C-alpha cells in the first residue's frame, strides 16, 4: 500500500492517511477481507506518531470501511454481506427504529378522534373558536407585517422573537429576556427538555393522573415513570418525598394550577413543601402552567417559579389555551445552562420558530388586547362551566365530580362497575366523546374516571353533549353491565 | 403484607396488587430493604396466576420502588441512596444527556455568526429579503384569515393543511395528498426521518461535501457517517456501490440539484445509476431538493422521485428558498408506512404545524403568485450570480470556481497553502463572512474550499463583500502564510 504524506499541506496527516486508504479500498485496490498494516509498522514507515495512524484507522472504522478484530488487526470490511432483500420497495418495517408500538398506536388513535366531524367532542383540550378575537388579531397581524414583515418572514433567532422575550420576562420575577425561550407550542418545550435531560432508563416523576402528551414523550425517550397521586392537595408530599429519594428523577413534572385532567389546584403550603423536597433531592421541577390565568373564582396562588429561590424550576407556559393554539406560541424560562442546551436542541429540530405568530402575540399584549380577551374568556368559560355542571347534574346524575375553580376540565367519577373506556365506546355511538381516565394514570388507576372539556363549545352544544353522555350511561346500565369486569382481551383503545 | 383482591372490579388484578404494595412501600409499612414475598407464594395465597404477580412486580420495578437480585428475590429499593448535592441549584451539567459537545458548540457558533449585524454575510443559506413579495403576501394573508381564520388558528392536522397537501401532490407523479406530509421547515423533515429510521450505530450515507445541518442531525442521533465524493457528476457511482454494499445505511442522503455547498447538479444517467444501486441494496434515498426550481440556465433534469419506480425515494422540499423561510413551510412525500411513523413522531415533537403559513402558501400558489415570484427571483438571482462572479474575478482572482447553473452558492478553491478557516478568521476582521469548506466534508477534505452565497444581497452589496474577501486574501498572503500548515492546536471553529 502506497501512501504519500505531505507535511507542508494544510490537511492534517491523519486525514491524508485515511483518505489514501479510503480511495484504495473503494477502488478495490485492497482485496476483500485484506488486512491493513499494523498501526505501529505503518507509523514507522511513514515517520509519524502511532496515534496519527490510529486516528486514521478510527475514521475508516466509523465510515464502515474497515473492521477490527482483537489479535487479528484491522481488515477491510467485506462488501455485500447484508441481508436485505434487494430490488423491491424497501422493507420499511425492518428499517424503523424499534419503538413502543402500543404507545404509538394510542397517539394515532387520539389524533383520529379529534378528526371526526360527526360528534360533539368534549375530548380535546382546545379552547373555544367562537371566542377567538378575530378582528383584533387581523388588525395586529396586518400592522406587524406592514411594520416589519420582511424581517419576520426572513428568519428568527433560535431562542425566539426578541420583543416577546422581553415582554414575557417582565411578568416573571427576577427573569430577564435571556431566561426566556420561545417554543413552537409548549409541547415542544417538553419534547426539547426531554431530549436534553432524559436518557433511556432515567426516571421522570409525574403526578398521577397527568397530561397524556407529557407521559408519551417521556416514555418515547425510554424514561421510567415514577408517579405520585394528585389527591386533594395537588400532590401527596409524603409520597413525593419517598419517590424522589428512591428514584432521583431527572425531572419532576407537575401542573400545579387547574391540573390536567383533574382540575385540582395545589395550595400555597403544598407548593412550598414540593419545592423544599425537590431542592433537598436536587431534582429539577418542570412546572407546566397553561391554565393559571383562567381562574373563574377564588384567590390566585403564586406559581412554583415565583416561589423558587434556588433555580430549581423550569417554568413552561403557552398562548394556546388563553388565546389561540394555531399560532404555536409556547415559552419557558430556565437557568442559562439549560437555555444553552435548548438552543442546540431546537436548532437540530426545526432551526427556528415562525416569528409572525410571536410578533402578533407580542403586539397583542402591548396593545392591551390580551387583558381584554382574558376578561372576556374568563367570563364566558365560567358560564360554560356552570352550564356544563347543570347539564351533567340533570342528564347524567350518576356522575360524581368536584367543580373546578378554573381551567377547562371536569374530572368525573363513574358509577360502580362501569369503566371509562366502556362508556366511551357507547358514547361514540351517541356521537359524543370525552377522554377515559386511565390514559392519564401511569399508576394504573383512573378506570372509573372520565375527563370532560367544558370550555370548547357554546352552552347549548355542551348541554347537548351532556344529554348524549347521559343517554350512553343509561344504555350501559340497561345493558346490565353493572358489576361486570371489563374483558382485558379487547385492550385496544378506541380513542 | 395484606392485599385484598376484588374480582368483581373493573380494575385488572395485577393493577390492584401493584397498587396495594405501592401504598405500603410509600407509607413505610414495608421496612427499608425489606423483601416482597416470592411471586409463586403470593400468587398461591391470593389464588391468582403467577404471571399476574410477576406483572405487578414489574410495574413496581419500572417505578423504581423495588429492585430485583438473582437468587435474593425482590426487595424494596432503599431511599436516599443518590449522590446529588442537595439544596443548592441543580447540578445541571451532571443532569444533561451526554451529547457531542464539540458538535453542539459548532452549531452554537454558526448561529452566532448569523446574528452579527456588522458584517456582510455571504454565509447563511438564506434568500434575499429585498425580493420578498410583501404586497401579494399581505393580501393573501388577510384574505385567508377572513375566509377561514378561526379554523386556521384552532388546530391543524398533524400531517398538514389539507388543501396544500393536495396542491403539492399534483406536481409529484403518482402521488396523492395522502403521500404528502407538511413540516415546520424541511429541517424538521430530516430530524423526524432521523428519529424514525436512525438508531445509534446505524450508518447513514451522504455526499461529501453536503449540507451541514443534515450531518449534525445524523451525528446527534449517533449515526456513523459513510460518505461518497460529489465529484463532477454529483456522486461517484463506483464508490457509492462500494459504500452501500459495505455499510447498508438506513438512509442515503443526497441533494441532486444545485447541491449545497458545491452547486453541482447530478446528470440524468447518474441519477438512474444511483437509483439502481440504492434499490439493489434496498437503501432508502432521502432526496433533499430545495433549489431545483432556481435554475438560471440549461435544461431541467427529472428529480429522483420522478425517476423512482420502486418507492425508494423520500422526497423533501421547502418554500424557504423559493419564497420566504419565516413561514416555516417544508414538505415531503413518502410511502405510507413512513408517513404513519412520521405522524407519531411529529405528534410527540410539536403536535402540529402553524397552519396560517401553510394556508398562505397554498393560496399564493392557487392565485398564480408563486409562478410570478419564481420568474422574478430567477431573473434577479441570475443577475446576482453574474455580478458575484464578475466581482470575485476582479477582487479575488486567486479563487478558482465553476459557475453554477442555479441555486445559491459558489464553491471556490483557495490558492495553495491557505485554509478556509484561516481566511475566515481574517475575513471577519474585514467585516465579511462565508462558510469554510471543511464543515461540509465528513471525509476530512474541504480545507481549501469556501462556500459563498451570491443570492442574499443586492449586487452592490455582494460586490462590496467580494472586495472585502479579496482584501482578506491579500492580507493573508502578505502575512507570508503561503505554504504554512495551519496549527491544529486552535481547532475551535470561529463560525
Contact B242 A25 (CB under 8 A): yes
Per-residue model confidence (pLDDT) at position A23: 83
Which of B23, B88, B90, B484 to mutate: most A Cβ within 10 Å? B90
Per-residue model confidence (pLDDT) at position B411: 98
Residue of chain B minimizing CA distance to A150 = B129
Contact A226 B337 (CB under 8 A): no
Which of B354, B414, B441 to mutate: most A Cβ within 10 Å? B354
Contact A356 B196 (CB under 8 A): no
**R_g (Cα) of chain B, nearest Å:** 29
Contact B184 A354 (CB under 8 A): yes
Residue B462 near residue B384, CB atoms below 8 Å: yes
Of the candidates A86, A96, A312, the beta carbon closest to that of B90 is on A312
Contact B97 A197 (CB under 8 A): yes
> What are the backbone dihedrals phi and psi of residue B105, each rounded to the nearest 5 degrees, phi first?
-65, -40
Paired sense of beta strands B330-333 and A203-208, if any = unpaired
The DSSP secondary structure of A162-213, one letter per residue, reads HHHHHHHHHTSTT--GGGEEEESSHHHHHHHHHHHH--TT-EEEEEES--HH
Contact B248 A142 (CB under 8 A): no
Shortest distance between the Cα of B484 and any Cα of chain A, in A, equals: 7
Least confident window among B203-207, B410-414, B426-430, B467-471: B426-430
Distance CA B182, CA B192 (A): 12
Per-residue model confidence (pLDDT) at position B291: 97
Residue of chain A minimizing CA distance to B340 = A108
Of the candidates A130, A155, A224, the beta carbon closest to that of B126 is on A155
Of the candidates A63, A142, A347, the beta carbon closest to that of B227 is on A63
Angle at the Cα of A254 (from A252 to A260), degrees rounded to 5? 150
User: What is the ipTM metric for this complex?
Assistant: 0.87
Distance CA A205, CA A442 (A): 10
Per-residue model confidence (pLDDT) at position A410: 97
For residue A174, what are the CA distances in angstroms to A141, A305, A308, B443?
31, 10, 10, 47
Per-residue model confidence (pLDDT) at position B105: 64
Contact B310 A419 (CB under 8 A): no
Shortest distance between the Cα of A446 and any Cα of chain B, in A, equals: 9
Torsion of CA A306, A310, A316, A319, to 10 degrees: 30
Alpha helices in A286-407 (DSSP H): 304-307, 336-350, 355-366, 369-395
Per-residue model confidence (pLDDT) at position B79: 72
Contact A84 B19 (CB under 8 A): no
What are the strands, taking DSSP E only, across B163-278? 180-183, 203-208, 224-229, 251-254
Contact A84 B281 (CB under 8 A): yes
Q: Is the pLDDT of residue B71 over 70?
A: no
Of the candidates B59, B155, B197, the beta carbon closest to that of A126 is on B155
Contact B344 A107 (CB under 8 A): yes
Residue B272 near residue B235, CB atoms below 8 Å: no
User: How does residue B485 score in pLDDT terms, banded at 50, 70 and 90?
Assistant: very low
Shortest distance between the Cα of B170 and any Cα of chain A, in A, equals: 23
Shortest distance between the Cα of B195 and any Cα of chain A, in A, equals: 8
Residue B454 cell numbers, joined: 451570491
Write out chain B residues lying below 8 Å of A151, CB-based. 129
Residues in chain A predicted with pLDDT less than 50, given as ranges, are: 482-495
Distance CA B474, CA B388 (A): 18
User: How does residue B456 score in pLDDT terms, banded at 50, 70 and 90?
Assistant: very high
Contact A337 B89 (CB under 8 A): no
Write out chain B residues lying below 8 Å of A356, CB-based. 326-327, 356-357
Shortest distance between the Cα of B256 and any Cα of chain A, in A, equals: 21
Residue of chain B minimizing CA distance to A322 = B154
Nearest to A237 by CA among A266, A210, A204: A266
Nearest to B455 by CA among B127, B121, B123, B119: B127
Q: Is the pLDDT of residue B267 over 90?
A: yes
Write out chain A residues lying below 8 Å of B279, CB-based. 86-87
Of the candidates B220, B324, B356, the beta carbon closest to that of A153 is on B324
Write out chain B residues lying below 8 Å of A285, CB-based. none
For residue B275, what are the CA distances in angstroms to A220, A336, A378, B267?
33, 47, 59, 13
Residue A321 near residue A408, CB atoms below 8 Å: yes
Where residue A69 falls (left for φ over 0; alpha for ψ -120 to 50; beta otherwise) is: beta
Contact A107 B347 (CB under 8 A): yes
> What are the backbone dihedrals phi and psi of residue A394, each rounded to the nearest 5 degrees, phi first?
-75, -50
Q: What is the pLDDT of residues A199-210, one digit of tens each?
A: 989 999 999 999
Per-residue model confidence (pLDDT) at position A365: 97
Nearest to A353 by CA among B158, B184, B52: B184
A56, containing H or E segment = helix A50-62
Per-residue model confidence (pLDDT) at position B111: 58
Contact A217 B355 (CB under 8 A): no
**What average pLDDT score do residues B400-423 get?**
95
Taking the alpha carbons of A416, A417, A420, A426 in that order, is the dihedral positive or negative?
negative
Per-residue model confidence (pLDDT) at position B490: 27
The pTM of this model reads 0.88
Write out chain A residues lying below 8 Å of B328, CB-based. 350, 352-354
Residue of chain B minimizing CA distance to A152 = B326
Shortest distance between the Cα of A404 and any Cα of chain B, in A, equals: 24
User: How does residue B1 score in pLDDT terms, banded at 50, 70 and 90?
Assistant: confident
Contact A65 B246 (CB under 8 A): yes
Which of A98, A199, A246, A416 to mutate: most B Cβ within 10 Å? A246
Cell 412550598 belongs to which residue? A272
Paired sense of beta strands A251-254 and A203-208, if any = parallel
Residue B43 cell numbers, joined: 400468587
Contacts of B170 (CB under 8 A, 6+ apart): none
> What are the backbone dihedrals phi and psi of residue B217, each rounded to the nearest 5 degrees, phi first?
-65, -45
For residue A293, what are the CA distances in angstroms to A177, A187, A301, B278?
21, 19, 11, 55
**What average pLDDT score do residues B300-311 get?**
94
Q: Is the pLDDT of residue B293 over 50?
A: yes
Of the candidates A114, A154, A242, the beta carbon closest to that of B126 is on A154
Amino acid at each position: 500500500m502506497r501512501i504519500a504524506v505531505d507535511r507542508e499541506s494544510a490537511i492534517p496527516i491523519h486525514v491524508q492517511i485515511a483518505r489514501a486508504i479510503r480511495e484504495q479500498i473503494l477502488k478495490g485496490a485492497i482485496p476483500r477481507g485484506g488486512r491493513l498494516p499494523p498501526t505501529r509498522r505503518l507509523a514507522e514507515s511513514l515517520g509519524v506518531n502511532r496515534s496519527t495512524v490510529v486516528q486514521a484507522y478510527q475514521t475508516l472504522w466509523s465510515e464502515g470501511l474497515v473492521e477490527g478484530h482483537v489479535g487479528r488487526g484491522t481488515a477491510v470490511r467485506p462488501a455485500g454481506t447484508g441481508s436485505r432483500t434487494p430490488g423491491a420497495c424497501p422493507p420499511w418495517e425492518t428499517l424503523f427504529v424499534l419503538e413502543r408500538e402500543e404507545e404509538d398506536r394510542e397517539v394515532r388513535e387520539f389524533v383520529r378522534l379529534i378528526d371526526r366531524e360527526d360528534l360533539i367532542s368534549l375530548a380535546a383540550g382546545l379552547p373555544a373558536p367562537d371566542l377567538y378575537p378575530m378582528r383584533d388579531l387581523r388588525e395586529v397581524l396586518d400592522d406587524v407585517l406592514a411594520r416589519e414583515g420582511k424581517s419576520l418572514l426572513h428568519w428568527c433567532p433560535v431562542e425566539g422573537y426578541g420583543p416577546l422575550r422581553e415582554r414575557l420576562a417582565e411578568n416573571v420575577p427576577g427573569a430577564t429576556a435571556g431566561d426566556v425561550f420561545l417554543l413552537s407550542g409548549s409541547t415542544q418545550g417538553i419534547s426539547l427538555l426531554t431530549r436534553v435531560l432524559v436518557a433511556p432508563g432515567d426516571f421522570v416523576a409525574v403526578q398521577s393522573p397527568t397530561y397524556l402528551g407529557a407521559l408519551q414523550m417521556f416514555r418515547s425517550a425510554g424514561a421510567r415513570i415514577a408517579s405520585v397521586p394528585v389527591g386533594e392537595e395537588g400532590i401527596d408530599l409524603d409520597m413525593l418525598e419517598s419517590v424522589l429519594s428512591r428514584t432521583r428523577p431527572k425531572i419532576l413534572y407537575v401542573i400545579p394550577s387547574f391540573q390536567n385532567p383533574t382540575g385540582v389546584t395545589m395550595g400555597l403550603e403544598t407548593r412550598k413543601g414540593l419545592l423544599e423536597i425537590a431542592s433537598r433531592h436536587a431534582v429539577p421541577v418542570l412546572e407546566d402552567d397553561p391554565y393559571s390565568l383562567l381562574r373563574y373564582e377564588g384567590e390566585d396562588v403564586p406559581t412554583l417559579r415565583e416561589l423558587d429561590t434556588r433555580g430549581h424550576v423550569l417554568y413552561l407556559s403557552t398562548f394556546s389555551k388563553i388565546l389561540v393554539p394555531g399560532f404555536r406560541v409556547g415559552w419557558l424560562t430556565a437557568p442559562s445552562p439549560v437555555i444553552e442546551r435548548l438552543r442546540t436542541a431546537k436548532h437540530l429540530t426545526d432551526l427556528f420558530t415562525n416569528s409572525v405568530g410571536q410578533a402578533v402575540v407580542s403586539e397583542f399584549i402591548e396593545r392591551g388586547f390580551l387583558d381584554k380577551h382574558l376578561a372576556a374568556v374568563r367570563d364566558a368559560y365560567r358560564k360554560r362551566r356552570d352550564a356544563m355542571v347543570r347539564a351533567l347534574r340533570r342528564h347524567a346524575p350518576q356522575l360524581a365530580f368536584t367543580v373546578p375553580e378554573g381551567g377547562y376540565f371536569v374530572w368525573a367519577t363513574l358509577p360502580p362497575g362501569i369503566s371509562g373506556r366502556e362508556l366511551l365506546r357507547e358514547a361514540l355511538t351517541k356521537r359524543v366523546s370525552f377522554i377515559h381516565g386511565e390514559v392519564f394514570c401511569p399508576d394504573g388507576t383512573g378506570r372509573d374516571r372520565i375527563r370532560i372539556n367544558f370550555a370548547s363549545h357554546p352552552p347549548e352544544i355542551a348541554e347537548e353533549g351532556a344529554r348524549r353522555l347521559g343517554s350512553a350511561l343509561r344504555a350501559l346500565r340497561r345493558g346490565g353491565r353493572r358489576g361486570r369486569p371489563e374483558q382485558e382481551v379487547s385492550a385496544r383503545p378506541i380513542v
